[in-house]
Structure 1
């Protein structure tokens, strides 16, 4: 199920950013050079953020031959769990701002942006839940903390709506930055996951689900 959602989210995220968010931004009165600079800066920013996450991630596992003091593994797992929560909360807060910007630009764009984020968040949240369980969190605590992190999107949406409504000129730049995130996640994270399963039997459903994702976005925006 998670693998299927990854393929579907690739189609939705790429078509949302390339067919709707970016054209919406470039059709505004904003300077195209500044928008392209924002796109470049966004791609590099997501690359650096991923690098920092990789550098901070602990690759130590039980039984890997390393000798540590008693309780070290539990402490390390707990730290990784809290880092997942902090990163997820910030990510959801940003998603809320992006959805608000999309709705301010165009209601249909807001809908497809929300769908794109949901399609990506479902497999990510499942993965985060599993990481929290492995980090020693009980099922209830992992569920509650994941829910609280998800609610950060509401806070980001409210802040984005009331802030960007007064600074409407920033909306195209937020849309471009959002698009850079969608493109980066799809191309550098999700697609490589799909390439690891390269048999014809596994590739055909992937291609069909990507096409379905594109079709969903086109259907939702058919009146635009």
Structure 2
């Protein structure tokens, strides 16, 4: 397949497929699985950023110091965006991580007349658009890198979307409307990917910087948004499960790299 075809296919998978899978979890009341999915997603994000995306950014740009600077700046940018309620999804009142979001959303004692749901949809659309840009930048560098990056994005989108579904339901949305709005929001991934592809085609020098921003995004989401929620469970059994699943997430990145190598070669 051409690079553009890869970008289109993986953008659709990263957006629409994650929404469909999240709906299966959310609507079948398997919210208890979300903490396990989050642990796996952390491993996939960290594995993709440190083992794939960041090394490519440094080698393709020819300047490790510049790439590291973009990563540092990217983390600061994502922090500011999150503070402005534009980047991540924990907009629900008193929300403290995905596990707490789901727990609160499952409490059907009332709803907030759609306020939280509207914020979720706005933030989700922006987030999906940025994901599409990152997917395109990765594929512009290397198909293998694009596949691994897409895998990491899909891995963290599923538990995130489960939490979003729960908040939308709590906000008074019907299951059908929650699914339709989330699916519509997911197409922002494809829009971002296509815009980035045509922009980066005429500005190849910007690809290393975009890869560094992609690494910063993954590191920030894993370390700032997801890992703190895991520390709420301090018992030994939970800790062992978390470490094991994080390891599986990292291993899946390595395995995907080798499988794609074998397939393409």
Residue 153 (structure 1) aligned with residue 202 (structure 2):
no
Give the structure-2-normalised TM-score. 0.74
1:118-167 residue CA offsets vs partner (Å, 9 max, x unmatched)? 11000111111111111111111111000001111111111111211221
Residue 193 (structure 1) aligned with residue 229 (structure 2):
yes
Partner in structure 2 of residue 49 of structure 1: 81
Report 1 or 2 for greater relative contact order, CA contacts < 8 Å, sequence distance ≥ 6: 1
Give distance in 1, aligned partners of 2:91 and 2:168: 14
Give distance in 2, aligned partners of 1:89 and 1:18: 26
Residue 57 of structure 1 and its aligned partner are, at CA, apart by 4.8
Partner in structure 1 of residue 114 of structure 2: 78
Give distance in 1, aligned partners of 2:147 and 2:91: 34
Partner in structure 2 of residue 63 of structure 1: none
Residue 77 of structure 1 and its aligned partner are, at CA, apart by 4.0
Comparing 113-122 and 43-52, the one that deviates more: 43-52
Residue 108 (structure 1) aligned with residue 140 (structure 2):
no
2:172 to 125, 136, 156: 136
Higher-Rg member (1/2): 1
Q: Report if aligned partners of 1:30, 1:169 keep a CA contact under 8 Å in 2.
A: no
What pairs up with 1:161-176 in 2 under 5 angstroms?
A: 161-176=197-212
Residue 204 of structure 1 and its aligned partner are, at CA, apart by 1.2
Instruction: In structure 1, list runs of 5 or more residues that go unmatched.
Output: 61-72
Give the structure-1-normalised TM-score. 0.87
Q: Report if aligned partners of 1:10, 1:210 keep a CA contact under 8 Å in 2.
A: yes
Q: Report if aligned partners of 1:35, 1:173 keep a CA contact under 8 Å in 2.
A: yes
2:72 to 40, 43, 50: 40
What pairs up with 1:16-31 in 2 under 5 angstroms?
A: 16-31=48-63
Q: Report if aligned partners of 2:165, 2:178 keep a CA contact under 8 Å in 1.
A: yes
Residue 28 of structure 1 and its aligned partner are, at CA, apart by 1.6
Partner in structure 1 of residue 254 of structure 2: 218
